[in-house]
Amino acid sequence: MLQELPTLSAAQYSLVYNMFSFTVATMAAAFVFFVMSQKNLAPKYRISMMVSALVVFIAGYHYFRIFNSWEAAYTLNEAMGAYEYSGEPFNDAYRYVDWLLTVPLLVVELVLVMDLPEGRSGPMAAKLGFAAALMIALGYPGEVSGDTSLFGVRGLWGFLSTLPFVYLLYVLFTELGDVIQKQSDEVAKLIGNARLLLLFTWGFYPIVYMVPMFIGGYPGEAPGAVATIQVGYTIADICAKAGYGVLIYNIARAKSVEEGFDVDEYAEPVGA
C-alpha cells in the first residue's frame, strides 16, 4: 500500500530506521550461514537449507527496499526536531509481497526436514503452502484499508485470514504430530521446538495487526501505532525466518548424524 504517514518524534523515526537496517544485516548474515552450512548435512537435507537461504534472501531484499522507502517517506524538520511525512509514499506492500513468497516456503522447510514417509511430503507441502499463501492474501485488504475497527474492514479480513491460519496450526499439531512421534527422542524434541517457535512468532503477527484497533487511528494521527507495527513485524520476521532457519539446521544436522553421515567431514580445514 502507498500510505500517508503521521509526524514522528526523532526517537520513533530512528527506532524504525535502525530496526530496518539491522534486519537487512541479519538476513544477509543468515543467508551466508545457510548456504555455507549445507555441506555439513546429508545430501537429502540440503534442500531444506536451500529453502531457508531463499527465504532470508527474499526477506533481505525486501527489507532493503522497505528501508529505502522509509527513508524517502520522511524529512527532518529541524525547527520541530521531528520527522515529517515528505509526501513520498511509504510502500508497505513490499512486506505483504515478501510474506506471500516466504511464508509458504517456511512451511515447506519444515515439511522437508521432517522427511515424511514416501509420497507424503509433496501433498503435505502443497496443502500447507496453499493455506499459508491464502492467509496472507486475505490479510492484505484489511491491512491497507486504512480502517482501524475490530468490527469493520480491518477486523473482517483479519478474521478471514485467521481461518487458514487455524487450519495450518491444526495440521501442524495433529497430522504432523504423528510423524514426530516416529522420530528419535532428540529429533522429536528439536522438531517440537521449531513448531513452538513457529506458533509463537506467527501468532505475533495477528497481534501486531490488531494494534491500530487499540492505539488510536491509522495512518493519519497515530505515530505510536505506526512505529509499533513496523518494529513489531520486524522483530517477528527476524525470529520467524533467520531464527527458525537455525532450528531447521539443527534438526537436519541431528538427522544427518543419526543416519550415519559424518557431519564434520567437510568442515575440516583443507590439509588437516
Ligand X SMILES: *C/C=C(C)/C=C/C=C(C)/C=C/C1=C(C)CCCC1(C)C
Contacting positions for ligand X (CB under 6 A): 99, 102-103, 106, 135-136, 139, 158, 161-162, 165, 202, 205-206, 209, 237, 240-241
In the complex, least distance from residue 66 CB atom to ligand X, rounded to whole angstroms: 13
Instruction: Tell me the residue number closest to ligand X, measured at CB.
Output: 139
In the complex, least distance from residue 22 CB atom to ligand X, rounded to whole angstroms: 16
CA distances from 138 to 142, 143, 159, 164 (A): 8, 9, 9, 9
Residues 6+ apart with CB under 8 A from 188: 180, 181
In the complex, least distance from residue 132 CB atom to ligand X, rounded to whole angstroms: 8
Please identify, using beta-carbon distances, which residue of 42 and 103 lies nearer to ligand X: 103
The C-alpha cell 509458504 sits at 104
Cell of residue 117, nine digits: 514417509
Please identify, using beta-carbon distances, which residue of 241 and 253 lies nearer to ligand X: 241
For 87, list phi and psi in degrees, rounded to 5. 100, -20
3-state secondary structure of 64: helix
Please identify, using beta-carbon distances, which residue of 110 and 254 lies nearer to ligand X: 110
Please identify, using beta-carbon distances, which residue of 45 and 157 lies nearer to ligand X: 157
Please identify, using beta-carbon distances, which residue of 42 and 128 lies nearer to ligand X: 128
In the complex, least distance from residue 116 CB atom to ligand X, rounded to whole angstroms: 22
Residues 6+ apart with CB under 8 A from 271: none
Instruction: Give the distance from CA 104 to its chain's centroid.
Output: 10
Q: Are 30 and 245 in contact (CB under 8 A)?
A: yes
In the complex, least distance from residue 193 CB atom to ligand X, rounded to whole angstroms: 16
